[in-house]
Structure 1
Amino acid sequence: MTIDSETSRRQILKRLGTAGVVAILGGSSAFTQEKVNKVSVRGGAIDVHHHHQPPSLGPGAGGRGGGGPWTPEKTLAQMEKFGISVAILSMTQMGDILYTGTEAGRTAVRIGNDYGAKLMQQHPRQFGLFGGVPLPDIEGTLKEIEYCYDTLKVDGIGIYSNDNKGRWPGDKYFEPMWQELNRRNAIVYMHPLARLCCRSLDYGPAASMVEFDFDVTRAVASIVVNGVMFRYPNIRFITVHSGGTVPMLAGRMKDRVPNGSQKYLPNGLYTELRKWYYDIAHAAFPWPMAALMKFMPHDHILFGTDYSPEPIESTVNELPGLDLAKDFMQAMGRGNAERLFPRFKV
């Protein structure tokens, strides 16, 4: 190689030096850029599984995606980074604080709802809200439903998969709540809560590893076979994590419907399970997605992330490898949620 000038010599040495630094650092230096998998959806995705954390109720959800105390500024930055235009907020894993059946539980729920509503008012095009309720306190729950809809103007009501006292949502104990939610044509978002008994099982994994999705499945089955959907057809139900184990167990569930429950299933168990909406938060892996897309109508599959307990990347980084059709991605990422929450339609 011929060096024509001192300038050329300096340029070559500079390039060699830069390459050497990158090689020494294994390519993981400031010279490399983080690859971000944005959700490929016109208008931005609608995230129906997104948690807020009132600062007065604790230090934050933690988990793998918390990154310190939750703040709306962090959430909005993460939403912009990953192509999410709307997050419908709900309380995170706080069942031991909210589901006490005491005045303290009522107070905690009200704090969470007021905080979420304030965020919604400040950012009406970016935040929605599933209002919480203080189960197993039925009187307090009915009052909070009224407050949520009439004062806070929530988008729906959020419940946990059990009441932290040994009951799942199909129990007759909850009939007054279902009656009121049916009257209001409610959207009910159901998030897992590991039942107290199951947290004491000494077999190794944390509840978030497997028990959350097992309890989602118990709760869905409880609602369906105990006739909640039959008696209260105006309620639309959303649950999480690609349905827990529902798509995989649907066949066994069909063949094991309890005696006396067939009257609640005039068109069969599958029909009732397919009325639910399922988000894909932290469950966009090839295997649950294959089962979900095979079993469920595609217009009942929703986008979610489980942020901030879970990093948004846990969901969005799986999507490119699924080879999803553009029309399906648009529907799952936004269109299906727009039909449930028309105020966010663009």
Structure 2
Amino acid sequence: MAPASGGMLGRRDVLAAFAATVVAGAIKSAPARDAESRPQRIDVHHHLSPPAYIAAANANNFGEGPMKSWTVGKSLDDMDKAGVATALLSITTPGVNFTSREPARTLSRECNEYAAKLIADHPGRFGSFAMVPLTDIDGALREIEYALDTLKADGIGLLTSYDDKWLGHPSFLPVMEELNRRKALVYTHPTTANCCVNLVKTLQPVMIEFGTDTTRTIADIIFSGNALKFRDIRWIFSHAGGTMPMLLDRFVRNPFLDPNAKPAVPDGTLAELRRFYYDTAQTSNKAAMSALSAIVPVSQIVFGTDFPYRTSIDHVNALRDCGVFSDAQLADIERGNALKLLPRLAA
């Protein structure tokens, strides 16, 4: 009996010790789990639709269902499901490209003030990239001043093109000079150039033209000399830079083929591409992320979701499933890199 009893007591001791270890481990790891469960991510590509913008869309017959049915509650719910602490709000295409002059100024102001109210009403949850009527230089300069100085917007949101003028166009130089003077963060969102609306009857422009227009404006900013001249503008390009990664050889060889392009890239085209930031919206897949991260360091990639057209959790899961990044790199993409651009969000 003694050996049996001793054996049973030994098992009990082992089980008790194991249970104590499990409990202690659970208690010890609870703060870590809590830290992981707290919202940490920063989404730089998240759209809002102020009432004034929805009204304008309805009156002018543009816009899709997700844009017109947006609410702040839907944004917050999507963010909470994916651990997004802060979303940087912006107006999607066409911005104010469908109108001009005073109506464009008025709509820009109303949308920017609405975003500022959301930031005030939901501390820590939102930031904003203010919309400006870029083709109206005086109006754009006035709205940049108001948005950044009075509303305290985090940056300026621009479309990739305006009336078939891309962001390197000389007509935009006064705005670029001001953005550079302010060391502004400038987020860009693609649109469809006038040349290519309904170009292929079987395809929606968003399918191909958005990536293409992003590529056009990146090239125009670089080879117009704006990237070199305005070194203090901090650019974010949507959708992993569009088709740029697939056209890298063309970008790199352009100065050799066109002597006029050489002065714009004294350190080579690749050096300019690596200074820009690129978001993950609609491109959180192995092919796109592999291509982008082969060109730019992970420090230049920021988390974007394109809500309400896609969900935040789509991108969280896809970035992990693509197998391109380590856990530490994912943490930088989803938060750390954006904090370098927006240090106020650290609080």
> What range describes the TM-score normalised by the shorter chain of this pair?
0.7 to 0.9
- Contact 1:142–1:180 (CA<8 Å) still a contact in 2? yes
2:215 alignment partner in structure 1: 217
- Contact 1:90–1:131 (CA<8 Å) still a contact in 2? yes
Query: Percent identical across equivalent pairs?
Result: 40
- Which secondary structure does the structure 1 equivalent of 2:281 belong to? coil
Query: 1:312 deviation in Å?
Result: 3.0
1:107 alignment partner in structure 2: 106
In structure 1, distance between residues paired with 2:249 and 2:120 = 44
1:304 alignment partner in structure 2: 304
Q: Tell me whether 1:254 sits opposite 2:252 in the alignment.
A: yes
Structure having greater relative contact order (Cα 8 Å, sep ≥ 6): 1
In structure 1, distance between residues paired with 2:116 and 2:283 = 28
Query: 1:77 deviation in Å?
Result: 1.1
User: Which structure carries more helix by proportion?
Assistant: 2
In structure 1, distance between residues paired with 2:110 and 2:195 = 28
- Contact 1:42–1:330 (CA<8 Å) still a contact in 2? no
- Contact 2:42–2:335 (CA<8 Å) still a contact in 1? yes
Instruction: Output the amino acid matched with 1:126.
Output: R
- Contact 2:198–2:205 (CA<8 Å) still a contact in 1? no
Matches within 5 A, 1:1-346: 43-58=39-54, 63=64, 66=66, 69-95=69-95, 97-98=96-97, 100-163=99-162, 165-257=163-255, 258-323=258-323, 324-346=325-347
Instruction: Spell out structure 1 runs of 4+ moving beyond 2 A.
Output: 40-43, 59-64, 97-101, 309-317
In structure 2, distance between residues paired with 1:170 and 1:99 = 21
| Residue deviations 1:62-88 (CA, integer Å, cap 9, x gap) | 758x28621111111110011111100
Number of equivalenced pairs? 304
In structure 2, distance between residues paired with 1:303 and 1:195 = 26
1:9 alignment partner in structure 2: none
In structure 2, distance between residues paired with 1:267 and 1:244 = 23
Query: 1:311 deviation in Å?
Result: 3.1
| Residue deviations 1:37-95 (CA, integer Å, cap 9, x gap) | xxx7975110000001011221689758x286211111111100111111000011233
- Contact 1:170–1:224 (CA<8 Å) still a contact in 2? yes
| TM-score using structure 1 length | 0.83
| TM-score using structure 2 length | 0.83
In structure 1, distance between residues paired with 2:139 and 2:292 = 36
Instruction: Output the amino acid matched with 1:54.
Output: P
In structure 2, distance between residues paired with 1:67 and 1:103 = 24
- Contact 1:185–1:234 (CA<8 Å) still a contact in 2? yes
- Contact 2:176–2:230 (CA<8 Å) still a contact in 1? yes
In structure 2, distance between residues paired with 1:207 and 1:122 = 36
Q: CA 1:140/1:41 → structure 2, altered by over 3 Å: closer, same or farther?
A: farther
Unaligned runs of 5+ in 2: 1-35
